[in-house]
Structure 1
């Protein structure tokens, strides 16, 4: 029993959030092709009446797990792994949630707003002894959801496939949404699962191979361009951080002459290819031709998000200090502006600026800089996972709101995953009661 108390159940917090979202999708019996029509009010949504009760039960479980961890941590006089991260997280919540709720133009107070504070503070206390179990449980949960999504393709295609999607690079191929709320979220699931698999591979080789095939397949058919770009950048980052020191050592070793020659040749070939492209290809014509297409027009307007940003800017201009309030882009607001699909500002900075005012926007910038600084500081210690997760969040923040702390949901998963990664890495600087069984992120400390 003592062992259970020492370890706690923080490893189940993020999987429970993911599982709840999957159950919501399964019980809804949705037609994925009609999701946007439902938002626009042209079709009736079908959320199960059971979900509000399940959400209440989940909230109680998450709070109990978090409060137990906080009480146990401070009851045993353990230090906070990273005080800068803890202070800025609390300040960020105060400026972006409490401030607009109490002082915004449209005040709105709810007990649900405190959930992210309590759960997030418990995540700030995760140590290097716990992080392996946290990462392993989240990784396995994500792959279970990916597998379930694929299994349901022939069994329940309308639930998991968007056959009306026409904006992708794969003409005529349905978009895989799986048991995620949306195909974009499905792409995020696959991306996170693969990064965690890289950091903490399974113990069996064939399981790892199958997991990579499953993850890459789902990432591809989710057809989320943001997830594709993010995964490529995150992969290059993790590879560089994990292998750059070894490669540099080999390059500087006179006994590894063949390796150095091979690297130089690859660089020369790549440089020659770029030069030839610049000299002989009509890049300007290609770009102009693409911008004349429907996809090019969507890119220039960020798929219509420029109009949503204009609305957000207008709200900030009217309520500059503390913002509009928590209710920005709720059902009533969307109907009033005639944008039923705009569930948020589709950009983290613009949403925070409009919802929480200049106070919240400044807090967002400060918090982001702390996350960036700590991610770089612990890059080698986490095997590049901290930087990869930060890049994934930063790219997602361009079109979504992954750092919002009003309540909890799938957007909070990636955010808290970065928080626990940084917290665990920072905890290696303070004495701990027991050593790790194996390297926390697949690399030695």
Structure 2
């Protein structure tokens, strides 16, 4: 009797699914014949809802491969820009709605992940970083647009906690591969946009009185500097923090994509930060006396070249042919002076998260493109005041100290990149994207190194195998 009932239920389910499939095929055919492609697209989207819900449910349960894939998707959605918008354009469109959905899923996944991690595994440094990011959210209430600032700062806190949960639940190796995979996909899309859609894929600038696309790549990252920073990060992660070098062909493909994005973006500070990270990584391998001699020789040659033909050298290095572009950091020195002057008027708490894009462009000494301080440390000082900067530096020192104690030179090299890159770029301060997430990755790797990935509550992980190491 029970067997017959089970068979009946199975046959009923099959019949219902067959009926739904037949109805879907009929509606799709009718829509195609009538040329109603909007209805056809809605029908196709409806068919994707059940597998998407199943995938999301398994990802929220931190089932290994599903969680891995979901994080890659979230990083790509949060980082990619498919429609260029003016700085003052705050309208809600499909792109914004998709990003808001991604932020919500990021926060939800971080919450379910934190529930699976034992409290004893958390370190003091984690609470300092959370305090810093929470403080930035609190400063949103003193800025001109609190709602927007809360979304931006909340997205950063959610992304940080998601990456931290991934380090604990999926493991350090998988977390690094998540970021490499995301950066690779973003890089491929950027190169495709660079070739096929110049208006999107190339940075526009004023040339002979017209605002036209230049040869610099910005791809789907939104800006050329973000594209160059992400590409340099991808190179560091691949060479210094992953085991992908063992697969030579894959490693070469990754480095080729990242290298092309870096070169075409012409982001000089990203190249400088990458060089500093690679020099450090090579320096710690030994034979420091010879390397020090080579550094001194290189510095001497550079100084001699500057003394002999400083202006000509700067003109060659600049994009515009003007030496002043190099000496002023492409106008950044003016921005820094204004930022420090304004900060001195409100030194303790600053002007609030996201306030720079409303205050700096209106300053008579600056210009409309000065939407942030163009410096990581000054941007934090301007928006969060002395309190925000002290919390940030405290977290940075703790991360460097823990990575140094464990001799995790790959992570230290990544942090060095951001310390150099941050001299001319804000790194974080708006809606979360790849570069700030990679910065949080550096801090998290320093905090979570050597901690074994946890088993999920739903059973053993199904993600890629990770060696279990002893707790420190």
Task: Sort the TM-score into its range (normalised by shorter chain).
Answer: 0.7 to 0.9
Q: How does 1:5-404 map to 2 (within 5 A)?
A: 5=62, 7=64, 9=67, 12-13=70-71, 16-22=74-80, 24-25=81-82, 28=83, 30=84, 38=86, 49-73=93-117, 77-81=118-122, 83-98=123-138, 100-102=139-141, 104=142, 108=146, 111-112=150-151, 113-125=153-165, 126-127=167-168, 129-162=170-203, 164=205, 174-198=215-239, 199-200=241-242, 201=244, 204-241=247-284, 243-244=285-286, 270=294, 277=301, 283-290=306-313, 294-331=321-358, 334-335=361-362, 337=364, 339-380=367-408, 384-404=409-429
Relative to the length of structure 2, the TM-score reads: 0.70
How far residue 186 of structure 1 moved from its aligned partner, in angstroms, is 1.1
Larger gyration radius, structure 1 or structure 2: 2
In structure 2, list runs of 5 or more residues that go unmatched: 1-57, 208-212
Aligned residues: 392
The Cα RMSD (Å) is 4.0
Q: Tell me, in whole angstroms, the C-alpha distance in 2 between the residues paired with 1:69 and 1:214.
A: 32
Report whether the alignment pairs 1:410 with 2:460: no
1:203-244 superposed Cα distances (whole Å, 9 cap, x missing partner) = 643222222222222222211111111111212223344x43
1:153–1:412 Cα change, 3 Å: closer
1:362–1:278 Cα change, 3 Å: closer
1:440–1:416 Cα change, 3 Å: farther
Q: Tell me, in whole angstroms, the C-alpha distance in 2 between the residues paired with 1:222 and 1:322.
A: 35
1:80–1:115 Cα change, 3 Å: farther
**Greater relative contact order structure (CA < 8 Å, 6+ sep):** 1
Residue aligned with 1:195, SS: helix
Relative to the length of structure 1, the TM-score reads: 0.74
In structure 1, list runs of 5 or more residues that go unmatched: 167-171, 249-262
